[in-house]
Structure 1
């Protein structure tokens, strides 16, 4: 069985993430979406909230998709899941430089697991969770970048924590 892991913080899950998930699910027998913490990021949503969000957004997708959390090295997680590939989405050259370095480090840790890069659909390439949060925090409309349910959750969270520039 060919298993792929698509890791991320998904804070929040965007239409770009969903594009990569849909396409990656066709490449493997099982796609494991690994929702993780990232010490260098300040999440808007808790890990449990992000797990719920990703689970809801991926319901009904064709293929064998599983959502789990992890808090370890990516390669340790991939090994535990029995993965033969890591799926990463690319938006721009800046993404490639970072991802290329990470793929090289991961290969040093386990050269039996390949990193596969998928380009996001051209219309979705500018979308980044970080920018979605920033737009929302300044009162902008994020509905072009996330599903309606996620947009509502982001608006609700911003109302709770307070908008910037008010």
Structure 2
């Protein structure tokens, strides 16, 4: 049996969601959440949220937007828009015409915080649901804080933790010219003990 659409049926409107985060820096877990969100939604607006409570940012909002944009694969390019915004995300998403908010969730610790955030956003914009997505086993524990801390410890960049444009930015920031960046597991500078 073949399915045909009714000749008078109008095309389904595009469904766009908003995925907001600090992304300092973007990780492979973030990229996986973007890919998974595009399996559900037609379009995604990725918002670098400017959070005044998070002091000591490694990269400027503009740098984070550029890194995210450069990390978007060709197959996603026409469906993803990257921007920055200072303010409440739910009302902003509503003004963009979003049908949902997307959040990435790590096990245990994130659950309570993400549910509280989803309920807060629901109070602001009742018709805007939050979709919580979990990254794969390889990326689920990966965080920007983890990547930042390792990079600050002598330019240590764990292979596969960040997209290539982010790795280049980290190397430019933390590795002296002419010095190879340390790889996880092979650099004595990463040891947490000191020699007598």
TM above 0.5, one fold? yes
The answer to whether residue 165 in structure 2 is matched with residue 149 in structure 1 is yes
The answer to whether residue 54 in structure 2 is matched with residue 53 in structure 1 is no
Larger gyration radius, structure 1 or structure 2: 2
TM-score (norm 2): 0.77
Q: Which residue of 2 aligns with 1:99?
A: 114
Q: Which residue of 2 aligns with 1:30?
A: 43
Counterpart Cα distance in 1 of 2:118 and 2:168: 35
Contact preservation (8 Å) 2:91, 2:124: no
Q: Which residue of 1 aligns with 2:142?
A: 127
Unaligned runs of 5+ in 2: 1-13, 177-188
Counterpart Cα distance in 2 of 1:18 and 1:157: 21
Structure having the larger proportion of residues in helix: 1
Unaligned runs of 5+ in 1: none
Structure having the larger proportion of residues in strand: 1
Q: Secondary structure at the match of 2:20?
A: strand
Aligned length: 163
The one of the two structures with greater contact order (alpha-carbon pairs below 8 A, sep at least 6) is 1
Contact preservation (8 Å) 1:143, 1:151: no
Contact preservation (8 Å) 1:92, 1:125: yes
Residues 63-72 or 44-53, more deviating: 63-72
Measured against aligned partners, the alpha-carbon deviations of 1:31-83 in whole angstroms (never above 9, x if no partner) come to 11111211122210111111110111014133611111111101121111111
TM-score (norm 1): 0.91
Counterpart Cα distance in 2 of 1:46 and 1:74: 19
Counterpart Cα distance in 2 of 1:70 and 1:143: 30
Q: Secondary structure at the match of 2:81?
A: strand
> Runs of 4+ in structure 1 displaced over 6 angstroms?
none
Q: Which residue of 2 aligns with 1:12?
A: 25
RMSD: 1.9
The answer to whether residue 58 in structure 2 is matched with residue 44 in structure 1 is yes
Measured against aligned partners, the alpha-carbon deviations of 1:65-111 in whole angstroms (never above 9, x if no partner) come to 11111111011211111111000011111111100000111111111
Q: Secondary structure at the match of 1:126?
A: coil
Alpha-carbon spacing, 1:90–1:155, altered in 2? closer, same or farther (3 Å):
same
Residues 145-154 or 24-33, more deviating: 145-154
